[in-house]
């Protein structure tokens, strides 16, 4: 079994996790904006998320030598370690609930604001809990000023959401007023200029609307799966805060699973290694996602259309991108936990949150271009 024991190895794991955990939200957001039902996307995502955990467990969890206090993955499956297993599975449940909630919050609130608020709540609550669970191995004078900054970010993110909502309402109101004025009594137009005006009008109609404009918002609303017009913005913010609370609890639960700070294991039973804990963590994450999303197929929320399991199986539009998002999230979480075992989960949480802040902001701007380029490359190689 491979264990990360050095600070350098922990940093390398967290740096690799930065890329993975910062990328997958943008992929799911873009699929929703292109009209794919979030239930279909999340089911696909959950499959490869679990597959990533299985791959990590049977590779890193099996290679190398083992010790009595650090058995390999398969050996530990047969041991009486259910108290720790339950903590790991509880962590997977709250993570799955958080990820599922953010999929709807991204549409209602926006990718950047959602990630800033949820990840800031994660630091404020999760990193504080992990600091004490890790026996204070991280420096408080460095950690807690950062926690205070993230607490401020929660307040600022909420204010930005309110400002964006008011701004969008104003744009749509002005657009409707301008449209009504344009449809009023028309003046006579000279015959020799009518063709040019029609051509210009056609060009304006076919031109892609500028991002952030009222026409862009209307065009996006027509294409996306989750319709946001007419929905109270407080709903999106409430979902965001719920997701942040879930995210703040999964890492402390995983910490308890691997380190047994509350001494729940029987005498002589080794603690869960990170790979075994991550396996159980991902299994529970998959089970809760499967149950909830199959239910949402037939009883959708937020005005989404009904679907079915057969319709899901036949929906291949964007499926490979959802699979990719699941792999990225699964490997990212695994690397985060591997690094957190050596560097402390409080530090791992803080680094991961910083990455999500940066990547969500950048991908919120350039995700469309990246998706189009990669899609063209994929079609080229397939053909």
Cβ atoms of 121 and 152 within 8 Å: the answer is: no
- Measured CA to CA, the distance from residue 7 to residue 46 in angstroms comes to 31
Res 365 pLDDT > 50: no
What's residue 177's pLDDT? Answer: 58
What's residue 149's pLDDT? Answer: 62
- Measured CA to CA, the distance from residue 13 to residue 142 in angstroms comes to 21
Res 24 pLDDT > 70: yes
Range name among 82-91, 196-205, 263-272, 302-311 with the lowest pLDDT average: 196-205
Q: Which residues pair with 87 in a beta bridge?
A: none
Residue closest to 322 by CA, chosen among 34, 98, 72, 119: 34
- At residue 214 the predicted structure's pLDDT band, cuts being 50, 70 and 90, is low
Cβ neighbours for 306, distance < 8 A, ≥ 6 positions apart: 297, 298, 299, 300
- At residue 326 the predicted structure's pLDDT band, cuts being 50, 70 and 90, is very high
For residues 207-224, average pLDDT:
71
Other C-beta atoms closer than 10 Å to the C-beta of 52 total: 22
Cβ neighbours for 208, distance < 8 A, ≥ 6 positions apart: none
Tell me how far the alpha carbon of residue 239 is from its chain's centroid.
13
- Measured CA to CA, the distance from residue 219 to residue 205 in angstroms comes to 11
What are the tens digits of pLDDT across the range 144-189?
565 566 556 556 655 654 555 555 556 555 555 565 555 554 444 3
What are the tens digits of pLDDT across the range 27-57?
998 899 889 999 999 999 999 999 999 999 9
The mean of the pLDDT values for the chain is 76
What's residue 225's pLDDT? Answer: 87
The residue with tokens 């609307």 is: 209
What's residue 379's pLDDT? Answer: 42
Range name among 63-67, 273-277, 356-360, 373-377 with the lowest pLDDT average: 373-377
What's residue 54's pLDDT? Answer: 96
HSE value, Cβ hemisphere, 13 Å, CA-based, for 121: 23
């Amino acid at each position: 079994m491979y264990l990360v024991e050095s600070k350098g190895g922990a940093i390398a794991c967290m740096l690799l996790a930065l890329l993975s955990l910062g990328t997958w939200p943008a992929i799911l957001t873009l699929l929703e904006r292109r009209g794919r039902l979030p239930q279909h996307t999340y089911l696909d995502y959950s499959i490869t998320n679990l597959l990533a955990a299985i791959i990590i467990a049977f590779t890193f969890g099996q290679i190398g030598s083992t010790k009595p206090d650090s058995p390999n993955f398969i050996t530990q499956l047969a041991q009486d370690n259910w108290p720790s297993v339950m903590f790991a599975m509880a962590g997977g449940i709250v993570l799955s609930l958080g990820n599922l909630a953010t999929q709807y919050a991204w549409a209602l609130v926006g990718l950047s604001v959602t990630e800033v608020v949820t990840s800031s709540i994660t630091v404020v609550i999760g990193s504080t809990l992990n600091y004490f669970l890790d026996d204070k191995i991280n420096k408080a004078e460095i950690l807690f000023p950062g926690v205070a900054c993230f607490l401020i970010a929660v307040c600022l993110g909420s204010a930005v959401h309110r400002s964006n909502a008011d701004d969008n309402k104003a744009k749509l109101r002005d657009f409707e007023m301008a449209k009504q004025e344009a449809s009023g009594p028309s003046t006579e137009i000279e015959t020799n200029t009518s063709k040019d005006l029609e051509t210009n009008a056609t060009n304006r109609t076919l031109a892609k609307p500028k991002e952030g404009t009222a026409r862009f918002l209307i065009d996006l609303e027509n294409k996306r799966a989750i319709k946001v017009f007419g929905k109270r913005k407080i709903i999106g913010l409430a979902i965001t805060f719920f997701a942040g609370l879930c995210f703040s609890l999964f890492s402390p639960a995983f910490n308890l699973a691997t380190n047994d700070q509350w001494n729940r294991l029987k005498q002589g039973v080794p603690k869960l290694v990170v790979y075994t804990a991550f396996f159980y963590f991902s299994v529970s994450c998959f089970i809760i996602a499967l149950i909830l999303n199959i239910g949402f197929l037939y009883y959708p929320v937020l005005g989404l259309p009904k679907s079915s399991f057969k319709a899901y199986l036949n929906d291949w539009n964007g499926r490979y991108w959802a699979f990719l998002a699941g792999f990225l999230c699964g490997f990212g979480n695994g690397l985060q936990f591997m690094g957190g075992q050596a560097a402390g989960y409080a530090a791992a949480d803080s680094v991961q949150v910083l990455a999500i802040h940066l990547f969500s902001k950048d991908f919120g701007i350039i995700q469309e271009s990246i998706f189009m380029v990669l899609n063209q490359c994929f079609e080229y190689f397939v053909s």
